[in-house]
Copies of this chain bind each other. A is one copy, B any other.
Amino acid sequence: MTRSGSFITRTDLARLDAEDPLAFARDRFALPEGLIYLDGNSLGALPRAVLPAVQQTVSDQWGQGLIRSWNDAGWIDAPQRVGARIAALIGAAPDEVIAADSTSVNLFKALSAALRLRPGRSVILGEAGDFPTNTYISASAASLFARDFKGVETHDLMAQINEQVAVVVLTHVNYRTGRLHDMAALTQRAHQAGALILWDLCHTAGAMPCDLSANQVDFAVGCGYKYLNGGPGAPAFVYAARRHHAVLAHPLTGWLGHDAPFAFEKDYRPAQDLRRMIAGTPPVLGMQALEAALTAFDGIDLHALRAKSQALTEIFIALCEQELEGQGFALFSPRDPDQRGSQVSFTHQQAYPIMQALIARGVIGDVRAPDILRFGFAPLYLRHVDVWDAVAC
């Protein structure tokens, strides 16, 4: 991308940064010098709070405290504690979210539980083009529990939610297009049809507000390593509405989901609360890193976060279209910012070499086959001028 005259100037964007009520949050991250990171939708940047937390966990809690730290350092409660922090970002009650396992595994648990609550219905309804794990796990659960998985086109979703559907599984923000579903409308439609709904919030949590409680969402899952900045392979999370807790059942009946794990009882008796969604021993290093990372959201107004995210993506689209007209780029994300997550995708026949060239110039996005250039805008640590510098590089 080349620099040229533009209707938006860098000075305009510097002014937006000066007025940005979230500008202070950038200092909470350790960002590499001279790099513009537009891939926080894949792996979030490093919050400064993480390294000291991890060092303390390793040296003091593990090294010195040893086994005693399960209680003394609160390791055993980390899944609930981290879950409660995430709950605040997705409009759930503190006891409705737990951190555990990976998104794939949590999806399996939540989907299994949902199917059990709708025994007479034959269909798991998903979206064609959803992130592969969602379709793979949905198809697997369908096969396991003698249901059918149907992945339908986006425009057909509302029409396909009918009385045969047991559960609707959807990613709120699509990983390729950045398209944002209407959570309220789809959840309401699912409930009208007597179905349950499970939202994948991988590209939502930490990027925008989201109100699971107000929408009476049944289940949700999401990862800890994108906009939540929990680090590579951070623990994922699972949400279940409190009204379902007492009847939740899934096949991963590991010992730490037991009501009294240290009683070592002969038979599985699930925890009274959402701990029943835990299977094995929690990954403490990842939990402590994620817990520290989430402090980067302290005092952040999620509506301001969304407003900044929309401004960043709007500016990026406007600048790209100004600068790159006629060069083979086509906007692949929704033009309406209210239908768009915190990412912008363009298609281009030479997507891969273009991204390689950008990375060589210090602008990191990524590519999704065959021809999609993907740029994520993490509003917690990106500046408005970064958008200008990325396009001008």
Hey, which bits of chain A sit against chain B, CB under 8 A?
30, 32, 35, 37, 39, 42-43, 45-46, 50-51, 54-55, 58-59, 61-64, 66-70, 75, 101-105, 108, 128, 131-133, 135-137, 139-141, 143-144, 151, 223, 225, 231-236, 251-256, 258, 261-268, 279-287, 289, 359, 364, 366, 368-369
- With contacts A101-B105, A102-B254 known, is A32 near B283, CB below 8 A? no
Distance, CA A141 to CA B284, complexed state (A): 27
Does the CB pair A255–B132 fall under 8 Å? yes
Distance, CA A233 to CA B289, complexed state (A): 13
> Of B43, B223, B254, which one neighbours A104 at CB under 8 angstroms?
B254
| Residue of A151, A251, A366, A368 with most chain B CB atoms under a 10 A cut-off | A251
- With contacts A231-B284, A280-B133 known, is A140 near B251, CB below 8 A? yes
Does the CB pair B104–A252 fall under 8 Å? yes
| Pairs A-B, 5 closest by C-beta atoms | A102-B280, A104-B254, A104-B280, A232-B284, A46-B63
- With contacts A104-B279, A231-B284, A264-B369 known, is A133 near B255, CB below 8 A? yes
Distance, CA A58 to CA B229, complexed state (A): 12
> Of B35, B102, B132, B286, which one neighbours A279 at CB under 8 angstroms?
B102
> Of B137, B235, B268, B369, which one neighbours A136 at CB under 8 angstroms?
B268
Does the CB pair A45–B66 fall under 8 Å? yes
Interfacial chain B residues near A140, Cβ < 8 Å: 251-253, 268
Does the CB pair A252–B144 fall under 8 Å? no
Could you list 26 A-B pairs, sorted by A, with CB under 8 Å?
A32-B64, A50-B58, A51-B58, A55-B55, A62-B232, A66-B364, A67-B366, A68-B364, A103-B254, A105-B105, A131-B255, A132-B264, A133-B280, A135-B266, A135-B267, A136-B253, A136-B254, A137-B253, A139-B267, A140-B268, A144-B144, A144-B251, A223-B281, A232-B281, A233-B281, A283-B283
